[in-house]
């Protein structure tokens, strides 16, 4: 999992740089936002010329799932200080959650495991960002080498890796098609994001299936 962070973080640095973001802006995203998919989404939205409230709203939608993760982790943090809980929240990611919850559910209670892993992810993500950012300008003519497609390819890969049930695939396909149709009609990026927020309502029409 630590390697995954490197291989996603480096491309993030590259595409952010290719999109014309300043080094300080790119580093600030990894240091303060620290959310992989959201950061790629931000780069795409910057490229699309989205205004800041749209970007912030999109990032919020992508990260609302942390409510569920924090709710599941909360009991294991009940005995620690408020400050530690709030620090644990800052480094909460899908990866840290997966490792942490697996650990706690095996009956272990040490928070150092979660903390060490989560902080390692944070440091690696930021290191990878800087490496990619420095490498970015070395790749000339992004269109010729298809580098402009890297961000879209990353989105597709993230979605495919996240598909656990048939309904996940249907929701993603519906979101992509609806968004593309709206874009073809000249709709703004707000409509595109709205399509993404509406598509998951489809899951309510599916009978629940167990995760594969």
Partner 1 sequence: MTWLAIAGSAVVTYAARAFAFRVALPSGLPRGVTRYLDALPAAIIAALAGPAILVPGGTVMRGPELVAALVVIAVVAWRRNLLAGVLSGVATVALLRLVLAA
Q: What is the footprint of partner 1 within residues 1-60 (CB under 8 A)?
A: 4, 7-8, 11, 21-22, 25, 28-29, 32-35, 37-38, 40-42, 44-46, 51-53, 55-56, 58-60
Under the binding rule (CB under 8 A), the answer on residue 155 touching partner 1 is yes
Question: For residues 50 and 108, what is the distance between their CA atoms, to the nearest angstrom?
Answer: 45
Under the binding rule (CB under 8 A), the answer on residue 99 touching partner 1 is no
Query: How many angstroms separate the Cα of 135 from the Cα of each of 3, 138, 183, 196?
Result: 18, 5, 32, 32
Binder of partner 1 out of 17, 77, 99, 126 (CB under 8 A): 77
Under the binding rule (CB under 8 A), the answer on residue 70 touching partner 1 is yes
Under the binding rule (CB under 8 A), the answer on residue 74 touching partner 1 is yes
Contacts of 1 (CB under 8 A, 6+ apart): 95, 98, 99, 121
Query: Residue 35 or 99: which CB sits closer to partner 1?
Result: 35
Binder of partner 1 out of 108, 123, 137, 145 (CB under 8 A): 145
Q: How far is the CB of 179 from partner 1 (least distance, A)?
A: 4
| Buried residues in 139-158 as b, exposed as e (16+ CB within 10 A) | eeebeeeebeebbeebbeee
């Amino acid at each position: 999992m630590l390697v995954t962070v490197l291989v996603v973080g480096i491309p993030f640095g590259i595409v952010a740089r290719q999109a014309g973001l300043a080094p300080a802006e790119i580093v600030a995203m990894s240091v303060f936002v620290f959310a992989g998919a959201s950061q790629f989404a931000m780069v795409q939205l910057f490229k699309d010329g989205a205004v800041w409230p749209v970007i912030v709203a999109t990032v919020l939608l992508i990260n609302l799932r942390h409510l569920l993760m924090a709710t599941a982790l909360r009991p294991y943090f009940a005995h620690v200080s408020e400050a530690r809980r709030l620090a644990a929240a800052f480094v909460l990611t899908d990866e840290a959650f997966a490792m942490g919850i697996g650990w706690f559910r095996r009956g272990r209670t040490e928070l150092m495991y979660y903390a060490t892993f989560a902080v390692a992810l944070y440091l690696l993500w930021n290191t990878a960002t800087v490496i990619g950012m420095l490498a970015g300008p070395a790749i000339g003519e992004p269109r010729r080498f298809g580098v402009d497609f890297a961000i879209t390819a990353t989105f597709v890969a993230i979605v495919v890796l996240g598909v656990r049930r048939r309904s996940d695939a249907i929701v993603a396909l519906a979101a992509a098609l609806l968004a593309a149709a709206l874009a073809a009609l000249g709709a703004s990026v707000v409509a595109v994001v709205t399509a993404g927020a509406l598509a998951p309502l489809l899951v309510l029409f599916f009978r629940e299936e167990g995760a594969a």
